Amino acid sequence: MAEMAAQGAHPEGFAHQFEDMEQQREAGSLGMWVFLVTEIMFFGGLFATYIIYRSLYLPSFEIGSRLLNVKFGAANTAVLIGSSLTMALAIHAAQAGKKKSEQVMYLVLTMILGAAFLFLKFNFEWRADYAEHLIPGFGFIIRSEWGAAGPHVPLFFCFYFFMTGLHALHMIIGFGILSVLTVMAWRGRFNSEYYAPLEISGLYWHFVDIVWIFLFPLLYLIGGRYVMGGQ
Amino acid sequence: MSAHIVPVKTYAAIFIALLVLTALTTAVAFVDLGPLNTVVALTIAVIKMLLVILFFMHVKYSSGLTRIVIVAGFFFLAILVSLTLADEFTRGWTPNPGAWSTIVRLLHGLP
Amino acid sequence: MSTTVIAEPPGHEVPAGSRVNYLNANYGVKSWLFTTDHKRIALLYLGSITLMFFVGGFFAVMMRLHLIEPQGALVAPETYNKLFTMHGVIMVFFFLVPSIPATLGNFLVPMMIGARDLAFPRLNLLSWYIYIIGAAFTLYAVISGGVDTGWTFYTPYSSTFSHTSVIPTALGVFITGFSSILTGLNFVVTIHKMRAPGLTWFRLPLFIWAMYATSIIFILGTPVIAITLFLLFLERVMHIGIFDPAIGGDPILFQHLFWFYSHPAVYIMILPGMGVMSELITCFSRKRIFGYSFVAFSSLAIAIISFLVWGHHMFVTGQSIYAGLIFSVLSFLVAIPSAVKVFNWTATLYKGSISYDAPMLYALGFIGLFTMGGLTGLFLASLATDVHLNGTYFIVAHFHYIMVGGAVMAYLGGIHFWWPKITGRLYPDGWARFAALVIFVGFNLTFFPQFMLGYLGMPRRYAVYPSEFQVLNVMSSAGASILGIGYLIPLIYLLWSIRYGPVAGPNPWRAKGLEWQTPSPPPTENFEEIPIVTEDAYDYAGVTGAGRG
Amino acid sequence: MTGLIQSSLHTLAAAAMLIPLKPRAASSIAQGVDNLYFALTVITLFFTILIFSTIFFFMIKYRRRSPDEIPADTGEHLGLELTWTIVPTLITVFIFIWGSSLYFENSRPPEAATEIFVVGKQWMWHIQHPEGVREINELHVPVNTPISITMTSDDVIHDFYIPAFRVKKDAVPGRYTSLWFQATKIGTYHIFCGQYCGADHAEMIGWVYVMSGTDYAEWLSGGARNESMAQTGERLFNQLGCVTCHVADGTGRGPSLVGLYGKPEKLRDGSTRVVDETLIRQAIVNSNSIPLPNYPPIMPSFQGQVNEEQVLQLIAYVKSLGAEERKTNGK
């Protein structure tokens, strides 16, 4: 993927094994889609495991889900959707032949929103979880009020941290790609004729967004939150 | 390059739709709908995913090959999930031969 | 296929060293370690997997020697358990899965479709490095005391009870998975986007169809084994309870996720072999393949159905009887495209002009052994007989007929077929035929008795066994020694031929296919000018002349 | 020279005599499985010989006689392709129906089967008879009597395999699996562990002793007689304090267990589950996974306090409560 993004390292951005730019662009785009299919299967295996254990230990998973902070979850969803928008606009700016400053602006905005997501996730949610002893392996305390469902609440949090952690890792990788793209845009590499690295990296960024679109309801929402009233 | 250029207006509309759906799915979580809560939450997630794929990821304007690749990905994921669940949820069932007994009798010449 | 450019007229031979080709274009270790040439990467892979093959083979020979005596002749049971585990892990993940795709596939896919390289050459090199890192982890596990979980890593034994190096092994396999993913991704994109002008899908060599089908499995299956091994890793390190029944986990779920990849992985091993078969049989009978489209689509059918049958590994685990029923019928279904291929290859020989060069002997051996391996699969797809045979030596024999009798025979046949193209040199044909014969005999003597052992009820993975099984075990061990020698012979004469073999010329077999229309060894860019294809594959009508240039 | 050949032929023949071709068959289902095995062998041989002989025939008939010969183009033949697609399909469908119907019959224990409990442990088999007799690595059963084996494992996955009976099933930790057989021949047969389970996997073997009915009754009464499994279970039930909540008349904090076994039970989420061994075990080790509508989730987990054999004894007790109830209903 780094390769597809960096294929423009050559001055004209053209690699010798291709016939023309069009073929190269199509190959890059197809390559990224195929890569995203492997990502679907990767996260999918995890989601399948989660679904099975959720059905086995429903009360424990519902307790765990209600302990998550839905405000941060929803806010982060909005932030990530926003970053997808700015990513799409950055590509649009290149496609439409806009100035390089506009491309850079949208890319930087995307990175800021991505950083905001990770900041909310790590600094507020995970830190609070640590303070409340909800991180398995780091002083997890099974509370007496959970009753008989207690012993399997840690399993929910294992899935929660593993899934959100894997998602965060993908965002951090995306960050690296965006930084490279920003530098390239700053140097004026992209124009309405050549913007394949932007487009291909955009696919990746949107995919990471989609993973969160599913993580949000699966982890935060479907745990019988209504019993908590307005909380 | 011959790619289709999506107008900014479309992007903005999709963005607003996604925000509205996020608010909606969050709000619904606080209403007791029984098992429907899960159905609604996942349906909204699927709609949001489709919006992102079709417009942000330009699949609405891209070749059939791309679509086949995406559909194939989800198809095989569905196989993984459904066949695994098929075992997990029917493991406790005891066999009730019924029609099979008839076949066995025919095959083995039993009374 | 005809091309606009034929690099050298047949028969006009230039010594390999006197012309610039991919081997002598530049020199030094760096020129190899940083190459992005698919042909050089193929050779890097060839060297690495050959090493792994002999490491894994060494473990196998040790096992067979140990089993000469019912009480075990050589090692302690714990050591025996490590031997079969490391044999399985190394052979499956580090030899069979990458064998044909990463060596012959890497070398031939661009050449057969008339491209200068794969679509992403740097990803291709990266995949080799990933493979090496994964292999290093696994070899570290071997050296640091070995691992004893079986190559299947079944939980909770692997996650909780084993005291051996499970973590480095699982990490090694996890990492190597990404090299498969990159190879598959590269092939799919290359085959879709980089075919030469005029080379339509139905003019492609069937090897390409097989590589395409294999790549689909790489792409869809490998991520699942990756996440599964990662969960196993977490479970073993943190004891979070995902697969540990003592904390509420479901060990059977591990098997579902494991076999979702590992059953299709069997087809990763055999599909490329089937692709090689189609090339060999057409060339050495100088015939168009019989039923091109049936052979082509059967590859795709196998790739797709292979994802629907994994539960047949779990019939006796207490899996739902109804799920078992579904998996059984789908498993029978996957036999049909394989049968179609065997019939079509046989029919291709009809009224051909058959020559018995060494690659052809391997090919004919493949058809026979694969037929037996495939048919004995029916015993295991069928629920009632599987209950008795599951987990016995019958399974061991069955999958070795597929993987060794099938995949390895095809791999060796392919290596012998394209060796002149890869190195520009010919090997001694007499020795090659002799080796093929030794391997065929040794193989059958090793594994046929194991079918009988399995039916008699001898479970696999037994370090000691009741003495009534001894005669058959001794036969099997005797066969294994013959087989071991059989594999050493090609190693010796192939290495010899690199230096001393006669110069091959561009097309020693008078074969069709774009790869034969460029010099041997090929130039770095493969073709001086990209060919334009105007004919179907295997258009052998009118080809004459003696083989071997 | 001829003498040498003759003597080596004799040795070979003697060695061949040592190779059994068929495992002993000593259960009611063995013949059915062997018939299917035989049919599959015939199919395998037929196609293997067909392919081998066709290849040999073509290899000889169509060998390259001169480098310049030009073979005829035989082209395509749709009829042939369809034939060798459809014929194997029909054969496999036939084998599938045969194999799975036989499997269905073989998986359903007869109503009157005697239940014996097996717990796999690294690396031995613990076996309990309902009468209370316990054995290790040995299983005594009466001939011509259906026996159903319910099993689980204390540690890793094991596999209870009796080749002579053609039965095999994994013993999985955390759940119950079962198989059944009816031995038809008096004798002694191997028990193997069929699933790799660690260092001494190959030593986790035992014997089944199939005895005549009278011998079996004598054996059963001969050993140090103690209480039946259900009685041991009742003792545990009182010791662990289960009895304080699960009061027989239903007035306790937990549901009454009388007559529960084998009946469907409605759960809080509206689904229904039949009370079987697995559900009772689940209730003992992890009661919260079975939310009942009228009872709060207050039952503690007994995981770690009882071993798998004791769980089986508790189950035997709960089942005995059910049996009494059913008897009284019948009257």
Write the DSSP string, D29-85.
THHHHHHHHHHHHHHHHHHHHHHHHHHHHHHHHTB--STT---------HHHHHHHH
Determine the pLDDT at residue D244.
82
Interface predicted TM-score of the whole assembly (ipTM), two decimals:
0.88
A147 touches chain D (CB under 8 A): yes
D100 touches chain C (CB under 8 A): yes
Measured between alpha carbons, how far is B34 from B14 in angstroms, rounded to an integer? 30
**Residues of B with Cβ-Cβ distance to D104 under 8 angstroms:** 95, 97, 100-101, 104
According to DSSP, residue C354 is labeled B
- Which residue, B39, B62, B85, sits at the end of a domain? B62
Inter-residue contact C26 to C442 (CB < 8 Å): no
Helix (H, G, I), strand (E, B) or coil at C510: coil
Shortest Cα distance, chain A CAs vs residue B31, angstroms: 5
**Crossing angle between the packed helical segments A196-215 and A21-56, to the nearest 10 degrees:** 10
**B69 in the same domain as B22:** no
**B46 in the same domain as B3:** yes
Pairing outcome for strands D158-162 and D206-211: unpaired
B93 touches chain C (CB under 8 A): yes
D299 touches chain A (CB under 8 A): yes
**B57 in the same domain as B15:** yes
| Cβ neighbourhood burial of C402 (10 Å; 0-12, 13-18, 19+) | buried
pLDDT in tens, chain D (331 residues): 567 777 777 777 776 666 778 899 999 999 999 999 999 999 999 999 999 999 999 999 999 888 888 888 787 889 999 999 999 999 999 999 999 888 888 887 788 888 899 999 998 999 988 888 888 899 999 999 999 999 999 899 999 999 999 999 999 988 888 899 999 999 999 999 999 999 999 999 999 999 999 999 888 887 666 678 888 888 888 888 888 888 877 777 888 888 788 788 777 766 677 788 878 888 887 776 677 777 777 787 787 788 888 888 888 888 888 655 544 443 3
Cβ within 8 Å, pair A148-D300:
yes
B104 touches chain A (CB under 8 A): no
Mean pLDDT for the stretch of residues B16-26: 95
Boundaries of domain holding B33: 1-62
D140 phi, psi to nearest 5 deg: -100, 125
Determine the pLDDT at residue D1.
57
A113 within a domain of the structure (yes/no): yes
**Residues of B with Cβ-Cβ distance to A89 under 8 angstroms:** 8, 11
**B87 in the same domain as B34:** no
Q: Which of B3, B37, B48 sits opposite A213 (nearest CB)?
A: B48
**B69 in the same domain as B108:** yes
B12 touches chain C (CB under 8 A): no
Q: Which of A45, A152, A154 sits opposite C223 (nearest CB)?
A: A45
Cβ within 8 Å, pair C252-B83:
no
- Residues 96-125 (C) with a CB less than 8 A from some CB of A: 110, 115-123
A97 touches chain B (CB under 8 A): no
Determine the pLDDT at residue D321.
81
Domains of chain C and CATH, by start: 33-517 (1.20.210.10)
Shortest Cα distance, chain A CAs vs residue D129, angstroms: 32
**B2 in the same domain as B54:** yes
**B28 in the same domain as B9:** yes
A190 within a domain of the structure (yes/no): yes
Helix (H, G, I), strand (E, B) or coil at C36: coil
Measured between alpha carbons, how far is A63 from A57 in angstroms, rounded to an integer? 10
Task: Write out pLDDT tens, residues A142-193.
Answer: 887 877 777 788 889 989 999 999 999 999 999 999 999 999 999 988 888 8
Start-to-end CA distance of chain C, whole Å, equals: 19
D215-222: long-range pairs with CB below 8 Å, 24+: D215/D142, D216/D140, D216/D141, D216/D142, D216/D143, D217/D142, D219/D140, D220/D129, D220/D131, D220/D133, D220/D140
Mutate to test the interface with A, among C189, C255, C524 (most CBs of A within 10 A): C189
Angle in degrees, CA A133, A134, A138, rounded to 5: 65
B73 touches chain C (CB under 8 A): yes
The set of chains that have 3 or more CB pairs under 8 A with A is B, C, D
Residue A140, token pair as written in the block: 């997890």
- Which residue, B45, B62, B79, sits at the end of a domain? B62
Q: Which of A21, A45, A224 sits opposite B80 (nearest CB)?
A: A45
Tell me the CATH architecture of domain D23-50+83-226. Sandwich (2.60)
Render the burial of C320-335: b for 16+ CB within 10 Å, e for the rest: bbebbbbbbbbbbbbb
The helix or strand, by DSSP H or E, that contains position C293, with its residue range, turns out to be: helix C292-305
Tally of domains in chain B: 2
**B70 in the same domain as B22:** no
Q: Which of B92, B94, B100 sits opposite D101 (nearest CB)?
A: B100
Shortest Cα distance, chain D CAs vs residue C251, angstroms: 8
A9 within a domain of the structure (yes/no): no
**B55 in the same domain as B17:** yes
Cβ within 8 Å, pair B83-C323:
yes
**Residues of C with Cβ-Cβ distance to D75 under 8 angstroms:** 288
User: Chain D residue with minimal CA distance to A150?
Assistant: D288
CATH of D229-330, one of 3.40.50.1000, 3.40.50.1260, 1.10.3720.10, 1.10.760.10: 1.10.760.10
Cβ within 8 Å, pair D105-B103:
no
Cβ within 8 Å, pair B80-C322:
no
Listed residue (C412, C418, C436, C539) closest to C486, CA to CA: C436
Angle in degrees, CA C242, C244, C246, rounded to 5: 125
Contacts of C365 (CB under 8 A, 6+ apart): C405, C409, C436, C439, C440
User: Chain C residue with minimal CA distance to D34?
Assistant: C385
Boundaries of domain holding A95: 19-225
Listed residue (A210, A183, A164) closest to A37, CA to CA: A210
Q: Tell me the CATH number at A105.
A: 1.20.120.80
pLDDT in tens, chain C (549 residues): 333 333 444 444 445 456 788 988 888 889 999 999 999 999 999 999 999 999 999 999 999 999 999 999 899 999 999 999 999 999 999 999 999 999 999 999 999 999 999 999 999 999 999 999 999 999 999 999 899 999 999 989 999 899 999 999 999 999 999 999 999 999 999 999 999 999 999 999 999 999 999 999 999 999 999 999 999 998 898 887 788 887 778 889 999 999 999 999 999 999 999 999 999 999 999 999 999 999 999 999 999 999 999 999 999 998 888 888 889 999 999 999 999 999 999 999 999 999 999 999 999 999 999 999 999 999 999 999 999 999 999 999 999 999 999 999 999 999 999 999 999 999 999 999 999 999 999 999 999 999 999 999 999 999 999 999 999 999 999 999 999 999 999 999 999 999 999 998 899 999 988 999 999 899 998 988 888 898 888 888 877 776 664
B99 touches chain A (CB under 8 A): no
Measured between alpha carbons, how far is D27 from C190 in angstroms, rounded to an integer? 58
- Residue bearing tokens 């993927």: A1
**B68 in the same domain as B14:** no
Q: Which of C120, C220, C231 sits opposite A37 (nearest CB)?
A: C220
Domain ranges of chain D: 23-50+83-226, 229-330
Which residues partner with D191 through β-bridges?
Answer: D206
**B40 in the same domain as B68:** no
Tally of domains in chain A: 1
**B9 in the same domain as B27:** yes
Shortest Cα distance, chain D CAs vs residue A59, angstroms: 7
Q: Which of D101, D274, D278 sits opposite B103 (nearest CB)?
A: D101
A216 within a domain of the structure (yes/no): yes
Contacts of C245 (CB under 8 A, 6+ apart): C156, C251, D172, D173, D174, D175
**Residues of C with Cβ-Cβ distance to A19 under 8 angstroms:** 194, 530
Determine the pLDDT at residue B108.
56
A98 touches chain D (CB under 8 A): no
- Residue bearing tokens 């459904």: B82
User: Chain D residue with minimal CA distance to B100?
Assistant: D101
Determine the pLDDT at residue C18.
61
A230 within a domain of the structure (yes/no): no
B86 touches chain C (CB under 8 A): yes
Cβ within 8 Å, pair A147-D296:
yes
A39 within a domain of the structure (yes/no): yes
C319 touches chain D (CB under 8 A): no
Shortest Cα distance, chain D CAs vs residue B103, angstroms: 7
Which DSSP string do the residues of C173-227 spell out, in sequence order?
A: HHHHHHHHHHHHHHHHHHHHH-PPTT--GGGS-HHHHHHHHHHHHHHHHHHHHHH
